[in-house]
Chains A and B, each alone.
Chain A
Amino acid sequence: MQIGLDPEQRALGKASGALAADLASGWDRGRGPSDVASAAPSDADWARIVEAGWPALRLREENGGLGAAAVDVAVLVEQLGRHSVAAPVIGTLVAAEQLQALGAPAETLEAIAAGELRVAPLLDAGLLGFAPSAEGALAWDSAGATLAYAPDGSAHALGEPLPTADVTRSVRRPGARVTDRDTALRPPAGDDRDRLHAFVLTLLVADLLGTMSAALDAAVEHATTRTQFGRPIGSFQAVQQIAAEDLVSVEATRSALYFSAWAVDALPPAEALRAARTAKAFASRSGVAVCQDAVQLFGGIGMTWESPAHVWLRRAQTDRTSFGDEHAHQAVLADLDLAPGA
């Protein structure tokens, strides 16, 4: 039993965090909702992302990837959330993992790993899971992506970004077919599907953890410097009690992430998926609650466009909804645990 990150994983977290912070510093939230910078990274930034090996991280070596464990990918994604990185790294990782599970040819996956082919996953209109076809689907976390594949292997160009809550990531509709980019896919085995699902949910938990811990740290920092009634607001009990419960939520979410990420590669697929649903339900609830508390602890400034507080809350709400919120997963868990004869 060894729970927690090993030295290499800690080093990965540190290096990814440094690059994530740097990428985030170049992104401009704008002066108002209408002039926010695009969530698509510049060519230079995308080149740095590719050089860091992020799109290739989880792909197997025979597909041009680095074959990283889910725990390693979670370590990276936590940093993306922590710095609210506006670049479709998670979307790329999710699409790559899906295509790999659907048996996409090595050359397609190699092009993704090399950052040349920029893909986004297609989700159903409720954002509950992968779309069965391009019809009515949404290309998720797709800023800067050029293609999305439906499970039948058909390639689709992507339309303009839709209005979204999240200002750091885009959702677009698949548009025209790009038949010369079609690829051969096959339906996944049940086990592969469950493991893919567990992996994707785990990444969202990681992004939620990064987002909520950034929000809490900033709120605590604010509470130590802002004074009212002649003392720091962080010395008031009502403020302390909120922040303390938030730290409980953050630490519990971290425990859930570690288990869920470990389970993706270590447990049978059905058990891994169950763990990931549990972690996603918990992180969805607690991530949004902590980001809401951060808005509260900032006071009036937390309600302004200038403040990062809404950026975290937007990102958390988007993570929460994507691939099913707590209600969606708890409903499935209730059926698993409570159906007669279960």
Chain B
Amino acid sequence: MDFSDSPDVAEFRAGLRAWLGEHLATYADGVGYDSAEGVAATHRWHRALAAAGYVTVSLDPEYGGRGLSDLYEAVVNEELAAAGAPPPPPIGHIAHAVADFASADLKARVLPGLLGCTESWCQGFSEPGAGSDLAALSTTATATDDGFVVNGQKIWTSWAMWADRCLLLCRTEPDQARHRGLSMLVVDMDTPGITRREITLANGSREFAEVFFDDVPVPAANLVGERGQGWRIAQHMLTYERGPADMGWTGRLGNVLAAAQEGVRSGRLPADDVLRRRLAAVAVDAQVLSWHVARSLVDRSSADPGSSGSIDKLLTTRVEQELYAVVGDLNGAAQVVGEQRPFNEYLWARAQSIYGGTQQIQRQIVAQRLLGLPRG
């Protein structure tokens, strides 16, 4: 048992810290999703991080990664959070799906832009009629002589407004039952027939959209893996999205917690005994979460995080939502009257139990796949 950094991890960490010390100030300003300038600043930051070799470090070197274990992804997340830097690009799950399933040709074509952050991507899974029941999706890709023609609608697509490419889960085999009829396509977002409409999030953030596909041609070479393999690829991807490295949240929660503790110490956030105890309780949970994430990253024997990623996501959700609730209560009336950034962060925490599969769906995965309880 050893929770301390191995020499390799320590060296990697030190290198990243030094890089951040030198470059963070140049890039970190104005990063966000609420304006065109914010988005541009975000992309500059991501490109700088990628150029320095700190994006998707767990991918094979032949695809532009460093072939490191998932633990290093967590180190990147941790160090960026500790330095007060904006998050890394949230592309690990997409990169793994493409790297693990796409043809050599497709990989060569799209991975450099994805990993270099010169092209941005979105994930087109959810539809108005297919959320938790993803396999019910009805966007079709009909085979033609040289590829597919896509028709349908996606919704809740993060970053779609400015994405260059979309990883699209769609139905190619209409005669096959649900899961078996799905395929994964890489769709260029500037193809004629695609319409995007922005959806503003409850916290005012503008990173969301719905996307309409109207006779959109997609070349056959943009099929990821085989026809009918879409469900498997989507599952593989979701385990990464739910897994600890890609959520990368614990460091950021640590910052929120530390700020709240500092606020109480300094008297800026008046806290009675009840609030102090609640803050201490959620500090306990946050600490346990970070130990748990370390353990699941190191324990992970195969490349695929598997269903245990759902445990990690459920635990993260517990901690994140309770933490923001306590911070909100520490803010007292200021939470509802005055500058609304803290309230918007609290609101954002409510999304943690919805995206990437809702809390209820994660529990169902844990109950059926990990505990072996029978399907209903």
A-to-B contact residues, CB < 8 Å? 1-6, 9, 71, 220, 223-224, 231-232, 234-237, 239-241, 243-245, 247-248, 251-256, 258-259, 261-263, 266, 275, 278-279, 281-282, 285, 326-327, 329-331, 333-334, 337-342
Does B39 make an interface contact (CB < 8 A)?
Answer: no
Segment among B90-98, B199-207, B320-328, B362-370 that sits at the interface with chain A: B362-370
Does B21 make an interface contact (CB < 8 A)?
Answer: no
B-to-A contact residues, CB < 8 Å? 1-6, 9, 71, 261, 264-267, 271, 276-277, 279-281, 283-285, 287-289, 291-292, 294-296, 298-299, 308, 311, 314-315, 318, 360, 362-368, 370-376
Main SS class of interface, A: helix
By the criterion CB–CB under 8 Å, are A255 and B291 in contact? yes
Cβ-defined partner of B376 (8 Å) among A235, A326, A327: A235
Main SS class of interface, B: helix
By the criterion CB–CB under 8 Å, are A1 and B265 in contact? no
Cβ-defined partner of A252 (8 Å) among B2, B265, B271, B289: B289
By the criterion CB–CB under 8 Å, are B364 and A4 in contact? no
Cβ-defined partner of A330 (8 Å) among B284, B360, B376: B284
Which residues on the A side are within 8 Å of B299 (C-beta)? 3-4
Which residues on the B side are within 8 Å of A326 (C-beta)? 281, 284
Which residues on the A side are within 8 Å of B298 (C-beta)? 1-4
Besides A1-B3, A244-B370, 19 new A-B residue pairs in contact (Cβ under 8 A), listed by A number? A2-B2, A3-B295, A71-B1, A224-B374, A235-B375, A243-B367, A244-B362, A245-B314, A247-B311, A247-B371, A248-B315, A248-B318, A251-B311, A251-B315, A285-B281, A326-B284, A331-B277, A338-B261, A338-B279
Which residues on the A side are within 8 Å of B371 (C-beta)? 220, 240, 243-244, 247
Which residues on the B side are within 8 Å of A5 (C-beta)? 1
A–B pairs, 26, beta carbons within 8 Å: A1-B3, A1-B9, A2-B1, A224-B373, A234-B374, A236-B376, A239-B373, A244-B366, A245-B314, A247-B366, A248-B366, A251-B311, A255-B292, A262-B1, A263-B3, A266-B4, A282-B284, A326-B284, A327-B277, A330-B277, A331-B277, A331-B280, A337-B283, A338-B261, A340-B265, A341-B265
Bound-complex Cα distance A252 to B265 (A): 29
Cβ-defined partner of A240 (8 Å) among B3, B285, B314, B367: B367
By the criterion CB–CB under 8 Å, are A235 and B373 in contact? yes
By the criterion CB–CB under 8 Å, are A232 and B374 in contact? yes
Nearest Cβ on chain A to B351's Cβ, whole angstroms: 19
Q: Which residue of chain A has its CB nearest to the CB of B286? A: A278
Bound-complex Cα distance A341 to B262 (A): 10
Bound-complex Cα distance A279 to B288 (A): 7
Nearest Cβ on chain A to B227's Cβ, whole angstroms: 33
By the criterion CB–CB under 8 Å, are B1 and A258 in contact? yes
Bound-complex Cα distance A231 to B375 (A): 10
Which residues on the B side are within 8 Å of A285 (C-beta)? 281
Say yes or no: A266-B375 contact (C-beta < 8 A), given A241-B367, A248-B366, A282-B285. no
Q: Which residue of chain B has its CB nearest to the CB of A274? A: B287
Bound-complex Cα distance A241 to B366 (A): 9
Which residues on the B side are within 8 Å of A6 (C-beta)? 1
Q: Which residue of chain B has its CB nearest to the CB of A329? A: B284
Cβ-defined partner of A220 (8 Å) among B71, B308, B363, B372: B372
Say yes or no: A255-B284 contact (C-beta < 8 A), given A2-B2, A244-B371, A261-B1. no
In this complex, the member of B1, B2, B276, B368 whose beta carbon has the largest number of chain A beta carbons within 10 angstroms is B1
Q: Which residue of chain B has its CB nearest to the CB of A342? A: B265
By the criterion CB–CB under 8 Å, are A243 and B288 in contact? no
**A-B interface, 6 closest residue pairs, ranked by CB to CB distance from nearest:** A240-B367, A244-B363, A255-B292, A334-B280, A244-B366, A234-B373
Bound-complex Cα distance A299 to B279 (A): 35
